């Protein structure tokens, strides 16, 4: 049967809103019990109020009941809220902030005191005293961002006490013990750096008794404030620590040997690929040692918007690219010698939790993959409705700078557009702004492309995964480079390449991406016909005053100073002061309890646009924070945004 000819944007699609909501039930992190090799994953449940739960990956059984939410508010973005060791799970419960321990089928038991202001993450179990945990403790006893305290603390799960281990830096994460428990490593950094700007890896000797953990001879072995980012420490042996550093300009694997007290790059010639990602969340993991001797390791890197899997020979410094069916890889962990597990995403189907078994041949290693957990089979018949992404590197005509994008064309086997018509397009500006969009299926994106829209992910200057120089393009230029790159992408795809309709282009994004939407509509009102900002920043003065500790000084580098130092820049780059320039219809979505971008940010821009007679629609989701976790809100947000574009572009029947 021949496809029906119908205007782009009006196609009927079997990709419905329920499928998009279901896609929110995704594995967010992986956990591997180092004693039993049992694999678990963290899962977000929109239909259960957005709670997170630990699931035994093999059996599919929840480790905790529906009254528990395995989540933490450390750094506001959370992550690394649980660990499993010898069948015992320790986790942070979001509702009360306490740490609990449990075994599958048992009722969780609190192991930290009651507290209305303590938050915990990044648990490390001591190998010889497994009742003692090292964890990040973030105290909000004084909630003022500058007064919030981060430290590494010892949790005695028998006495149910919490004591100080190390403090003094502004931030800590990723504590990890050597296999014999005699050393510990962690990552730390200071204001005004973010972890990807200038963090250090530290090691120290550990003394462990049945009642206490203490350290001595602390030493920073890599990283430099403001200049070099080092992180993701992992012990390969009792003598060898692996980590990543961007000293070369790209995050590449490094190693530190205790016996020789030397640090060196694993690869003699660095690869221009990032083997790590900015630590917005604490649960990220891009690599793991593969064998007990510390001779090999497996790492995922990124190249051109797609993941690449490498086997590294740590001794000789060689890298073998492994054949891999997945386009985006994350949460890489060793399950057993020669076996790793990870989250793997595909372009045309729901992602997997996969296991890779590596077998040595005469000259290399062969990789065999087993799926441990598969996405929703109910969507398998929809592969033909999923767009194939096309990675492109555009060049800004004015500056000569590259602009990296992923182009997803309208795709629906039942329809074609009229001859000569170009499709409407949705351009997506990611959050962060130091983040990135990689290849991999998104049912929200497919909702639009299967209805006849083009979708373009814009990895504007400042995005990660393209090296430090590209990431630093945004330093001092937030509100300029991101705006220019989004405009460049839109104009080149519509005019130079003729892929989209230049009169029907929308810009959408959340958080920092929502800011880029607002600022672009102000600064380049000639480009986009509509904008949708989800919890986007509108006032830099307010952001500098009220945002949380983790990001409280991030803004200063992005705009070139404090509000007192460069007030004119804050005014010029804050959309709320220029909203009269917004002529395109605007949709604003906001969570009522967002601590990262408080509701006042959205309220200000909405009122300003209204007062000046512009078209703006405003929706507040009660009980939601920085993003939508609840099924009903994910559903409403998508339907509102889709209906908004249909109306603005004149697509409603």
The dihedrals phi and psi of 623, each to the nearest 5 degrees, come to 80, 0
The end-to-end CA distance of the chain, in Å, is 24
Task: Give the pLDDT score at 376.
Answer: 66
Among residues 103, 136, 100, which one has the least CA distance to residue 120? 136
What would the pLDDT profile of 239-266 be if each residue is shown by its tens digit? Answer: 999 999 999 999 999 999 999 999 999 9
Mean pLDDT of 441-460: 96
Hey, what CATH class is 386-648 in? alpha beta
DSSP state, residue 488:
H
Model confidence, pTM: 0.93
Distance CA 77, CA 596 (A): 9
Whole-angstrom distance, CA of residue 606 vs CA of residue 612: 10
pLDDT surpasses 80 at 380: no
Our CA dihedral for 524, 529, 535, 538, rounded to 10 degrees, sits at 30
DSSP state of 580: G
In the chain, the percentage of residues whose pLDDT exceeds 90 is 86
Q: In angstroms, rounded to a whole number, what is the distance separating the alpha carbons of residues 121 and 134?
A: 9
- Indicate the domain borders of the chain: 285-375, 386-648
- Judged by phi (left if over 0) then psi (alpha if -120 to 50, else beta), residue 79 lies in left
Q: In angstroms, what CA-CA distances link 248 with 253, 264, 267, 425, 434?
A: 11, 12, 11, 37, 19
In contact, 575 and 606? CB cutoff 8 Å: no
The backbone region for 532, taken as left when phi is positive above 0, alpha when psi lies in -120 to 50, beta otherwise, is beta
User: Do the beta carbons of residue 208 and residue 180 sit within 8 Å?
Assistant: no
Query: Residue 47: beta bridge partners?
Result: none
* Rounded-to-integer distance, Cα 420 and Cα 378, Å: 35
Residues found in the chain: 653
> Distance between CA 330 and CA 94 in Å, rounded?
24
Whose CA is closest to 345, among 363, 330, 326?
326
Asked if residue 513 lies in contact with residue 428, where contact means CB atoms within 8 angstroms, the answer is yes
pLDDT level of residue 24 (50, 70, 90 thresholds): low
Dihedral of the alpha carbons of 486, 489, 495, 499, in degrees to the nearest 10:
-120
DSSP class per residue in 346-398: -SSS--EEEEEEEEE-SSSEEEEEEEEE---GGGGGGGGGSPPPEEEEEE-TT
Residue 492 DSSP label: I
Give the model confidence (pLDDT) of 125-144 as tens digits.
999 999 999 999 999 999 99
User: Could you tell me if 522 and 545 are in contact, meaning their C-beta atoms sit under 8 angstroms apart?
Assistant: no
Position 188 pLDDT exceeds 90: yes
| 194-199 mean pLDDT | 96
Q: Which of 149-163, 179-193, 475-489, 598-612 has the lowest mean pLDDT?
A: 598-612
- The upper half-sphere exposure of residue 137, i.e. CA atoms within 13 Å in the direction of its Cβ, equals 25
Q: What pLDDT score does 51 carry?
A: 92
Q: How far apart are alpha carbons 649 and 422 in whole angstroms? A: 13
């Amino acid at each position: 049967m021949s496809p029906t000819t119908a205007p782009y944007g009006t196609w009927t699609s079997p990709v419905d809103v329920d499928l998009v909501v279901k896609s929110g039930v995704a594995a967010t992190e992986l956990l591997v019990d180092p004693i039993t090799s049992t694999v678990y994953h963290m899962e977000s449940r929109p239909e259960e109020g957005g709670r997170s739960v630990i699931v035994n990956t093999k059996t599919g059984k929840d480790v905790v009941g529906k009254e528990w939410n395995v989540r933490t508010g450390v750094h506001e973005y959370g992550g690394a809220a649980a660990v499993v060791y010898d069948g015992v799970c320790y986790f942070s419960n979001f509702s009360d902030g306490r740490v609990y321990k449990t075994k599958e089928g048992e009722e969780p038991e609190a192991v930290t005191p009651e507290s209305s202001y303590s938050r915990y993450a990044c648990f490390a179990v001591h190998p010889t005293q497994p009742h003692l945990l090292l964890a990040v403790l973030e105290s909000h006893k004084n909630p003022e961002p500058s007064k919030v305290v981060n430290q590494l603390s010892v949790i005695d799960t028998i006495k149910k006490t919490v004591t100080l281990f190390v403090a003094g830096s502004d931030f800590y994460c990723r504590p990890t013990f050597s296999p014999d428990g005699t050393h510990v490593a962690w990552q730390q950094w200071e204001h005004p750096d973010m972890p990807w700007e200038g963090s250090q890896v530290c090691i120290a000797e550990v003394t462990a008794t049945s009642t206490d953990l203490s350290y001595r001879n602390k030493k920073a072995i890599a990283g430099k404030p403001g200049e070099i980012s080092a992180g993701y420490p992992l012990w390969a042996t009792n003598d060898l620590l692996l980590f990543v550093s961007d000293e070369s300009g790209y995050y590449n694997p490094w190693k530190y040997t205790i016996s020789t007290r030397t640090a060196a790059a694993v690869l003699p010639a660095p690869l221009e690929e990032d083997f790590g990602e900015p630590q917005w969340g604490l649960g990220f993991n891009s690599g793991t040692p593969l064998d007990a001797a510390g001779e090999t390791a497996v790492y995922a890197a990124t190249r051109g918007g797609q993941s690449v899997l490498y086997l590294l020979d740590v001794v000789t410094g060689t890298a073998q690219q492994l054949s891999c069916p997945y386009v985006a890889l994350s949460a890489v962990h060793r399950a057993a010698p020669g076996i790793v597990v990870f989250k793997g995403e595909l372009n045309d189907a729901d992602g997997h939790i996969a296991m890779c078994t590596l077998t040595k041949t005469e000259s290399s290693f062969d990789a065999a993959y087993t799926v441990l957990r598969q996405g929703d089979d109910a969507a398998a018949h929809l592969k033909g409705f999923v767009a194939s992404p096309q990675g492109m590197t555009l060049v800004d005509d004015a500056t000569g700078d590259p602009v990296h994008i992923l182009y997803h064309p309208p795709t629906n086997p039942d329809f074609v557009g009229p001859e000569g018509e170009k499709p409407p397009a949705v351009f997506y500006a990611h959050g962060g702004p130091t983040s990135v969009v990689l290849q991999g299926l998104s049912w929200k994106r497919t909702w639009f492309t299967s209805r006849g829209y083009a979708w373009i992910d814009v990895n504007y200057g400042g995005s990660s995964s393209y090296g430090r120089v590209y990431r630093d393009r945004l330093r001092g230029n937030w509100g300029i480079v991101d705006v220019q790159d989004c405009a460049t992408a839109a104009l080149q795809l519509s005019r130079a390449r003729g892929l989209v309709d230049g009169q029907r282009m929308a810009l959408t994004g959340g958080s920092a991406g929502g800011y880029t939407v607002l600022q672009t509509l102000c600064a380049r009102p000639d480009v986009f016909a509509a904008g949708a900002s989800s919890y986007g920043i509108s006032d830099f003065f307010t952001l500098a005053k009220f945002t949380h500790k983790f990001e409280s000084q991030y803004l200063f580098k992005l705009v070139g100073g404090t509000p007192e130092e460069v007030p004119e820049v804050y005014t010029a780059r804050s959309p709320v002061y220029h909203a009269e320039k917004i002529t395109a219809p605007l949709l604003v979505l906001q969570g009522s309890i967002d601590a990262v971008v408080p509701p006042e940010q959205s309220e200000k821009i909405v009122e300003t646009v209204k007062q000046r007679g512009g078209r703006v629609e405003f929706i507040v989701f009660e009980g939601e924070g920085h993003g939508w976790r609840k099924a009903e809100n994910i559903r409403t947000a998508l339907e509102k945004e889709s209906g908004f574009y249909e109306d603005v572009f004149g697509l409603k029947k």
